[in-house]
Amino acid sequence: MQVAILDDYQNVALRLADWSGVRRHAEITVFNDHVADPSAVVERLRPFAVVCVMRERTPLTKEILQQLPNLKLIASIGPPNASIDSQTAADLGIAVTATGYDAAPTIEFTWSLILASMRGVDREAASLKAGGWQMGLGSNLRGKSLGVVGLGNIGREVARVGLAFGMKVIAWSQNLTEEKASAVGATLVDKQTLFREADVVTVHLVLSDRTRGLIGAPEFALMKPAARFVNTSRGPIVDGAALIEVLRARRIAGAAVDVFDMEPLPPDHPFRKLDNVLATPHIGYVTEDLYRTFYGDAADRIAKWLESLRVSVTVNGHARTIMVEPRMTLLDALREELALTGTKKGCDRGECGACTVHVEGRRVLSCMTLAAMQDGKRITTIEGLEHNGMLHPLQAAFIEHDGFQCGFCTSGQIMSGIAVIEEAKAGWPSAATADVTKPFALSDLSNTEIRERMSGNLCRCACYPNIVDAVAAAAGRY
């Protein structure tokens, strides 16, 4: 078995994590350089069964994956990786794992860039090393306006730091509300107002079809001549050519950029030469602390996969292949390997029923069911109940009859309730059935029957009258 670690620019992967669990089963090859050409990527990766990729440095597209017959596992560094064609990977039976992540390094680095840009730190440091002394004047932060584009996990923390510096914080994104903005001390404004009023604009959005090219010439034309633009998110969110144009024309004071359309940045790129650009090589997340998390988790995921069993199941109508440890429960496999988190982990010992799913049409407590025993079986979770955009009748009945208590067990209650109806249709009696010698019919599913059948594997909320009413209503629609 061969394992490849890609794009380890600093040659630290093996030093920062314990790979002994992987070495017991496989040979590890580390690549410190970057290969961009797809055909070269395929040629490099062809022998490997496991590939560890650092964030989005090497995209694994459909065309690449289809040419890697030996590949069985992609260990992606960081959170879910948009540069991996996960659907193609699933179709080819290639497992994909992720690692832990911490946004703190990027938040801190964003402010490193803002401060360095405002005070001309790169220019002054270069002058000192060249034998010179003071070169220019910096700018204060206090009293200035900080425009934050995107108030997610990173943006809201950047906003809080801005407030600590005494800045006025304004914010905008496509789905941002006044409530969310005010919660971090920011004022919601429209996009044009943000670019027109901000002294520093900083971008904190996830790259998607909706955000690609979101910031371009019209936005830069609104910025103040003394304003600065900062991007530590993703390069393609910004029209790079438009940014270069305004910087060359000096229509804004400068930019600090850590992310680019093409990475590594080509040697002749203007960002390497413009004196009003502070450009860094996508190091917002590059800290020893975070790399220890990245590579430590990746080594652990790969080692567990090498020691695991391959299980093929059909989940919500889709064929999936997962690698599971012999003792892994079906609940953990659904949540951790397939990201189906609608099935809840409550008591974890079969008492609350929040983990109820259907296996081959019958309800089971997934926290008490071994994933390794499900090979070849058909599994339905709460995510798989809708059909052609329509809710299952019991889901609709829960809404109509307000069948919600705390809400945590709701998915399990719905899955159990559907099973109750199906069991009644199949003629199964219960402890509440008056005469078990007679065939049971769906019309015999009384409130007493529902309570008895639901209480078998759910918390006491299952006997809540509204839930009983919802099950009874749904049964009447079958």
- The residue ranges of every structural domain in the chain are 1-98+292-304, 104-261, 385-475
Q: Please tell me the distance from the alpha carbon of residue 6 to that of residue 64, in angstroms, as a whole number.
A: 15
Orientation angle between helical segments 121-129 and 104-119, nearest 10 degrees: 70
Instruction: List, in sequence order, every residue forming a beta bridge with 76; answer none if it has no partner.
Output: 53
Question: Is 247 in contact with 257 (CB distance < 8 Å)?
Answer: no
Please tell me if the domain spanning 1-98+292-304 has the same topology as the one spanning 104-261.
yes
Contacts 24+ apart (CB under 8 A), 66-75: 66/92, 67/42, 68/42, 70/46, 71/45, 73/49, 73/97, 73/302, 73/305, 73/323, 74/50, 75/50, 75/51, 75/99, 75/298, 75/301, 75/302, 75/305
61, two tokens: 């597209």
pLDDT tens per residue, the chain (478 residues)? 899 999 999 999 999 999 999 999 999 999 999 999 999 999 999 999 999 999 999 999 999 999 999 999 999 998 878 899 999 998 998 989 999 999 999 999 999 999 999 999 999 999 999 999 999 999 999 999 999 999 999 999 999 999 999 999 999 999 999 999 999 999 999 999 999 999 999 999 999 999 999 999 999 999 999 999 999 999 999 999 999 999 999 999 999 999 999 999 999 999 999 999 999 999 999 999 999 999 999 999 999 888 888 899 999 999 998 888 888 999 999 998 898 999 998 887 777 888 999 999 999 999 999 999 999 999 999 999 998 889 999 999 999 999 887 778 899 999 999 999 999 999 999 989 999 999 999 999 999 999 888 875 555 555 688 999 999 999 987 6
* DSSP single-letter state for residue 334: I
Instruction: List, in sequence order, every residue forming a beta bridge with 170; answer none if it has no partner.
Output: 147, 187
Question: Is 147 in contact with 198 (CB distance < 8 Å)?
Answer: yes
Does the pTM of the predicted model rise above 0.85?
no
Give the per-residue pLDDT at 84.
95
418, two tokens: 């559907």
Q: Does domain 104-261 have CATH number 3.40.50.720?
A: yes
- Amino acid in position 441: A
- Amino acid in position 168: K
Reading phi first (left if > 0) and then psi (alpha if -120 to 50, else beta), residue 392 is in beta
- How do beta strands 362-365 and 356-359 pair? antiparallel
207, two tokens: 């790259």
Q: Does domain 385-475 have CATH number 3.30.420.40?
A: no
Give the per-residue pLDDT at 461.
59
Q: Which CATH class is domain 1-98+292-304?
A: alpha beta
